[in-house]
Amino acid sequence: MLRTTAENSESASTSKGRRRNYSVLDDVNLLKEVIQFLPMCKPYKERSGLWKKIQANLKDRFSVQSMQDRYKLLMEKFEKEDMNSLKRYKQYEQLYM
C-alpha cells in the first residue's frame, strides 16, 4: 500500500543535480512509464535508452539512476508487503478453514 507520509517521500537527485523528493504521484507516474516501456525486460544494451525516454516523459524531473533506484525500492517494498500478506492469509487458512 502506498503511503502519503514523509516516510514514503524519499529524496532523489534530479537531472539538474538538485535534490527532490518523490511524491506518491511521482511514484505512480514512474510506474506507469515503466509499465509502458518495460526496460527490465529488454536486452541490457537497450535499457539505458528506454530509461532516458522515461526520464524525458517525466520532464527530466529525476536522474536516470534515481529513477532506477526508486523503481527497485518500490518493487522491494511491494514484494515484502505481498509476502507478508500471503503469510497472513496462510495463517488465516490454517486457523479457519
DSSP letters of 23-74? PHHHHHHHHHHHHHH-GGGS-HHHHHHHHHHHHHHTTT-S-HHHHHHHHHHH
Task: Give the total residue count for the chain.
Answer: 97
Containing domain of residue 33, as a range?
21-96
In a domain, 5, yes or no: no
Confirm whether 9 is domain-assigned.
no
**In a 3-state reduction of DSSP, which class is residue 2?**
coil
Number of domains in the chain: 1
User: Which backbone phi and psi does 5 adopt, to 5 degrees?
Assistant: -80, 175
- Residue 3 domain-assigned (yes or no): no
71 occurs within a structural domain: yes
What pLDDT was estimated at residue 14?
62
42 occurs within a structural domain:
yes
Q: Kindly state whether residue 7 falls inside one of the protein's structural domains.
A: no
Q: What is the mean pLDDT of the chain?
A: 85
30 in a structural domain: yes
Q: What is the pTM of this model?
A: 0.72
Question: pLDDT class for 93, splitting at 50, 70, 90?
Answer: confident
Mean pLDDT of 52-69: 96
Q: What is the pLDDT of residue 58?
A: 96
Average pLDDT over residues 52-68: 96
